[in-house]
Structure 1
Amino acid sequence: MQFNTTSLESLQSDEQRRVLDAIAQMRKCGLEDVLSIPQIVVCGDQSAGKSSVLEAITEIPFPRNDNLCTRFATEIILRRAEVESITIKVIPDITRTEKDKESIRAFQASITNFEELPKIMDKAMSVMGIDEDGHAGQAFSRDTLSVEIEGPSRPQLILVDLPGLIQNESKGVTATDIALVAEITDRYISQPRTVCLAVISATNDYANQGILSKVRNVDPQGDRTLGIITKPDRLPAGSGSESAFIGLALNHDISLGLGWHVLKNRSYEERSYSFTERKASEALFFANSNWSHLPKDCIGVESLVERLSALLFEHVKRQLPDVQADVSNKFSETQEQLKIMGKRRATPQECRDYLMQLSLDVFLVCKAAVDGHYEGDYFNRGMDQAFHASSPSDLHRLRAMVQSVNAKFTTTIRTKGHTYYFAKPGEEDSIDPSLAALQLAATTFPTKSPKVLQRSQAIAWVGRVLTQNRGRELQGNFNPLIVGELFWQQSSKWEHLAAEHVKEVAAMCSNFLHKLLLEKYPKHIYSRLWTSHIQAALETKYKAAERELKLIIEDQKSYPINYNHYYTDTMSKYRKEREGKALAQCVKAAIIRRRVADCTSDHISTTVNIDKAVKEFTRMTDPDMEKRSCEEALDCLVTIYKVSQKTFIANVTTQVIERHLLRGLEKIFSPVVVNALSDQAVTAIAAEPGAAKRQRAFLEDRIAKLEDGRRILSGLERLSL
């Protein structure tokens, strides 16, 4: 069989062939789907002569009737191989369904002669959904026709012919088709490692040819754009149009970093010319026209081939370090993505093993967080110096956060947990100096501050409660149960404050687990596990905490029982302070001061009139037994409140928070729990969904391609590029 592509053989030296061979191998193993690979793209407006340019460079006789090559991208891949062959296949677009992709990939044909190419391309168009005329099905396709040519003398090269840009709608061409062709062109030329051969026709004002604006948008300096002017023979000799295009070819008007080149393609009359005859006709035209004034390396297909040889190798050489870096980076990224997915999970045992490992990791981190052992990266990332519960990074340190809110709860109960604030016994109507601190603390918490009562107001309040609860006790005595009534009123805020505190800590535990599981588990595993197990387990712990708190509140609402010596000691202290103060006042009132007789100095003698002191003390003893009862009851309330307050805080933080919310938090989904689950349960939680299986296959396939890419590129390290 005859595969005549002799002009291509001059494209590369042996070193160039080795480099481009590596690039071709990377494309063959599918890396063009992963990263941008250096290639040459022939692009331009419809009927600009793109396919003729491609044919002249490759010397492959593409079908020229019915515009077959302009309805989809045609990828020409030339590779060196021991046996000559031509293989044609269709690469499905990424937006195709899996079913369509399988059907399209199933199409593959091999031919022994280029004369068979038109018939095979017809079949390829049918696979894409385009009929021979492009009318029965869709007019254009995002799929790519791939023509692979292999042989022992073949160079390594990739050329892509794109559908021509269409300016206006016409019969069989809709606005959707126009947009699709523009999208295909943009997709190829926007790739940073693509060399654009921007083809424009001399028969149309170049200012009106859209390809120039497109390539300048993606390549403003023209560093990877070579302009190709076709059909120069169609311009009248000496005309203004000819002069304008000659100026363009000299890079005067639209300056491109890679410059311009002029080709004369076959005319209609020359359609049967061989490639040799085509070159002769082109050479004759350039030798006998105004175009002969252009530099020889800017005209004709033979100089274009030589020019492509140099610029392609230089382009690939510049891009190669970036390609190597991309392959390495994407390999690491893809491995990390696959690692996050975990091991393959198809059987119940694989699911169980997978969950066992995940649950062990979470168990250890959760236990460390509950115990307050903050070693490891998990606890030391992005620490917020302010340290507050709303900070995601601070929430990692669960024990520290719970300790912080426990301290806040304690402060709230002590400063704002009582209904009334009143002066201490013996202070009469003066207000405790710590009231200022209390009022300052009131700005810190959302709970309403206690109402301030002076001593006399507090006694009046006790009197009203005493009157409302009087039983058969004698005048001057008070019902001992009155202390319970006073205590319940004074501690009425405790239930709400404690309930809010329990709710806050429960939410903190839930948020901690939510963040931990979301970080350690794949999202679909987290979602299943949270709804099937974690949420219910946390709800159970919260309900148990609520029940425990309810029991504590029931105890608090019962009559206060106390065996703490603090109560009796404090009551004795209050009485002694009160009596001592009264006695001091009586003694002071009974002091008699006299000047010593027959003394030359001003010496004063001081004596205490005992009788007067006793009478004064008797007078000061309040005859109002009801008031004395109120004072006694108030003293009892103040004392028992302090004792009960400490007990209540300890009970809430220990019996509710610790016992039910924190203790055993790490065991909610521990390896022990996983081991006890049924096969059905572990499969329901850990089995890979269809999307995950497809994603795993995709990542494994990508890793295999990238490994091939790394191996291929490693073979270039010995070259002095």
Structure 2
Amino acid sequence: MQGIIPLINKIQEALMVVGSQSCGKSSVLESIVGKDFLPRGNGIVTRRPLVLQLYNIASTKEYAFFSHLDKEFTSFREIKEEIIRETCRVCGDNKGVSTDPIFLKIFSNNVINLTLVDLPGITKNPVGDQPKDIEKQINTLGKYHNSGCSPANADIANSDSLKMARKVDPKGERTSGIITKVDLTDEGTDALELLQGEIYPLKLGYIGMVCRSQKEINDGTTIVDSIKQEEKFFKTHPVYHKMSHNLGISALSSKLNTLFNALDSLHPLKIISDDDIHTSVENASALTPSLFVEEKAFHILVKQQIARLQEPALQCAEQVFTELRDLVSSICLPELER
């Protein structure tokens, strides 16, 4: 399985995060990685898609590589500087955007094997060097996204990210909702109905999060401290405490890794004991002594273990089929219309 996931990382965009400007997309990605490494500021800061490929390794050393540089990065501050530098190289210094992605691989024992894509925030009116059709360009970038990010203190009915999701996933079967800034709702109100999917149902559901404020970032609040504060907020909140196990960055990371926990958790010998093996060998050989393990016993034991892979394998195949179907349906070539 560890050999398969890096291969999948090369050909898939497992989670594409899209949302309006300043909705907390970058905070979500940084919380998953556990490091402060994405550019921040006013207006549209993410101006090129950032394809972030995470690899879980046994070593305590954390390092990263960009596809456009033959250099190993061990400082996340330098990673941020390189993202800014590479963005400006292609997009200029005045808010221009580009569809040309930046590829970044991070190797750490604190991440899960996953590919994330950070997209430019949805914007309506061009500023600076931005093209007149910037809204259309960003909509095109997010065409295949499957995770919508919206702040809790905004009306979900006007969510641009969910509007984009409906175009490619009208039934809400492949889209997961990330509700940020849950702690910033008006006094006396909460986002419970939204998080429970009662306002806009999604098959994959919603995860609520508390993002670091700009003041906390300026004051030096680390992501580790922020995650602890988020966990405390949900556990002690009069409304959210009952569902706190399904809220926060830990719940989001677990959810994203569910399909892989489904496969990795199937240990080949988990339900087979030494007694089971001994019994199978005796039943297969009956009264005939044998110097080697009976092939029949091997087949019986292996078949029942392979059967346990059926359900997660079918889930994986279904997801691949769905993605391929959507990709083909989006290709407008005369040769394929028939």
TM-score over 0.5 for the pair: yes
Q: What does residue 275 of structure 2 align with? A: none
2:253 pairs with 1:305: yes
1:313, CA displacement in angstroms? 5.2
Amino acid across the alignment from 1:247: E
Distance of 2:108 and 2:154 partners within structure 1: 39
2:55 pairs with 1:79: yes
Distance of 2:103 and 2:225 partners within structure 1: 28
Q: What does residue 336 of structure 2 align with? A: none
Q: 1:285 aligns with which of 228, 233, 242?
A: 233
2:22 pairs with 1:47: yes
Counterpart contact for 1:75–1:144, Cα < 8 Å: yes
Distance of 2:168 and 2:128 partners within structure 1: 31
Secondary structure, in 3 states, of the residue corresponding to 2:162?
helix
1:284, CA displacement in angstroms? 2.8
2:132 pairs with 1:175: yes
Distance of 1:174 and 1:291 partners within structure 2: 44
Distance of 1:264 and 1:153 partners within structure 2: 20
Q: What does residue 7 of structure 2 align with? A: 25
User: Identity percentage over the alignment?
Assistant: 26
Counterpart contact for 2:67–2:102, Cα < 8 Å: yes
Amino acid across the alignment from 1:250: Q
Secondary structure, in 3 states, of the residue corresponding to 2:67?
strand
Q: What does residue 456 of structure 1 align with? A: none
> Alpha carbons of 1:258 and 1:307: their partners in 2 closer, same or farther (altered >3 Å)?
same
Counterpart contact for 2:49–2:117, Cα < 8 Å: yes
> Alpha carbons of 1:47 and 1:291: their partners in 2 closer, same or farther (altered >3 Å)?
farther
1:69, CA displacement in angstroms? 5.2
Kindly report which structure 2 residues correspond to 1:633-648, keeping only aligned pairs within 5 A, or say none. Answer: none
Amino acid across the alignment from 2:27: S
1:314, CA displacement in angstroms? 5.6
Amino acid across the alignment from 2:207: H
Amino acid across the alignment from 1:77: Q
2:38 pairs with 1:63: yes
Counterpart contact for 1:38–1:319, Cα < 8 Å: no
Distance of 1:217 and 1:321 partners within structure 2: 20
Distance of 1:24 and 1:249 partners within structure 2: 32
Distance of 2:8 and 2:154 partners within structure 1: 39
Q: What does residue 182 of structure 2 align with? A: 232
Q: What does residue 204 of structure 1 align with? A: 154
> Alpha carbons of 1:313 and 1:75: their partners in 2 closer, same or farther (altered >3 Å)?
farther
Unmatched 5+ stretches in structure 1: 1-17, 91-106, 190-195, 328-721
Amino acid across the alignment from 1:208: N
Distance of 1:147 and 1:304 partners within structure 2: 21
Kindly report which structure 2 residues correspond to 1:159-174, keeping only aligned pairs within 5 A, or say none. Answer: 159-170=116-127, 172-174=129-131
2:166 pairs with 1:220: no
> Alpha carbons of 1:203 and 1:155: their partners in 2 closer, same or farther (altered >3 Å)?
closer
Q: What does residue 67 of structure 2 align with? A: 89
Counterpart contact for 2:181–2:211, Cα < 8 Å: yes
Counterpart contact for 1:63–1:69, Cα < 8 Å: no
Q: For the pair shown, which has the larger CA radius of gyration, 1 or 2?
A: 1
Q: 1:268 aligns with which of 194, 214, 230?
A: 214
Secondary structure, in 3 states, of the residue corresponding to 2:120?
coil
Secondary structure, in 3 states, of the residue corresponding to 1:110?
coil
1:108, CA displacement in angstroms? 4.4
Q: What does residue 148 of structure 1 align with? A: 105
1:152, CA displacement in angstroms? 6.5
Counterpart contact for 2:13–2:117, Cα < 8 Å: no
- Alpha-carbon displacement from aligned partner over 1:51-95 (angstroms, at most 9, x marks no partner): 1011111113123433675211111112256775310135xxxxx
Secondary structure, in 3 states, of the residue corresponding to 1:303?
helix
Kindly report which structure 2 residues correspond to 1:290-439, keeping only aligned pairs within 5 A, or say none. Answer: 290-311=238-259, 317=313, 318-320=315-317
Distance of 1:116 and 1:273 partners within structure 2: 19
1:173, CA displacement in angstroms? 4.1
Q: 1:118 aligns with which of 65, 77, 80?
A: 80
- Alpha-carbon displacement from aligned partner over 1:176-219 (angstroms, at most 9, x marks no partner): 22211111111x32xxxxxx221101232111121112112212
Kindly report which structure 2 residues correspond to 1:682-701, keeping only aligned pairs within 5 A, or say none. Answer: none
Counterpart contact for 2:209–2:230, Cα < 8 Å: yes
Counterpart contact for 1:73–1:161, Cα < 8 Å: yes
> Alpha carbons of 1:172 and 1:288: their partners in 2 closer, same or farther (altered >3 Å)?
farther
Distance of 2:13 and 2:116 partners within structure 1: 10
Unmatched 5+ stretches in structure 2: 264-311, 325-338
- Point out the structure with the larger helix share: 1
> Alpha carbons of 1:40 and 1:216: their partners in 2 closer, same or farther (altered >3 Å)?
same
1:265, CA displacement in angstroms? 0.6
1:323, CA displacement in angstroms? 5.1
Q: What does residue 128 of structure 1 align with? A: 90
**Greater relative contact order: 1 or 2 (C-alpha under 8 angstroms, separation 6 or more)?**
2
> Alpha carbons of 1:41 and 1:294: their partners in 2 closer, same or farther (altered >3 Å)?
farther
Secondary structure, in 3 states, of the residue corresponding to 2:124?
coil
Counterpart contact for 2:231–2:248, Cα < 8 Å: yes
1:255, CA displacement in angstroms? 0.5
Secondary structure, in 3 states, of the residue corresponding to 1:147?
strand
Distance of 1:236 and 1:116 partners within structure 2: 38
Distance of 2:110 and 2:196 partners within structure 1: 35
> Alpha carbons of 1:303 and 1:203: their partners in 2 closer, same or farther (altered >3 Å)?
same
Counterpart contact for 2:192–2:240, Cα < 8 Å: no
Amino acid across the alignment from 1:267: S
> Alpha carbons of 1:281 and 1:234: their partners in 2 closer, same or farther (altered >3 Å)?
same
Distance of 2:77 and 2:29 partners within structure 1: 17
Q: What does residue 489 of structure 1 align with? A: none
1:159, CA displacement in angstroms? 1.1
- Alpha-carbon displacement from aligned partner over 1:211-260 (angstroms, at most 9, x marks no partner): 11211221233222111111122212213xx3xx3211111110000111
Kindly report which structure 2 residues correspond to 1:266-665, keeping only aligned pairs within 5 A, or say none. Answer: 266-271=212-217, 272-311=220-259, 317=313, 318-320=315-317
> Alpha carbons of 1:214 and 1:237: their partners in 2 closer, same or farther (altered >3 Å)?
same
- Paired positions, count: 269
> Alpha carbons of 1:26 and 1:251: their partners in 2 closer, same or farther (altered >3 Å)?
closer
Q: 2:195 aligns with which of 241, 246, 249?
A: 249
1:275, CA displacement in angstroms? 2.2
Question: What TM-score do you get using the length of structure 2 for normalisation?
Answer: 0.70
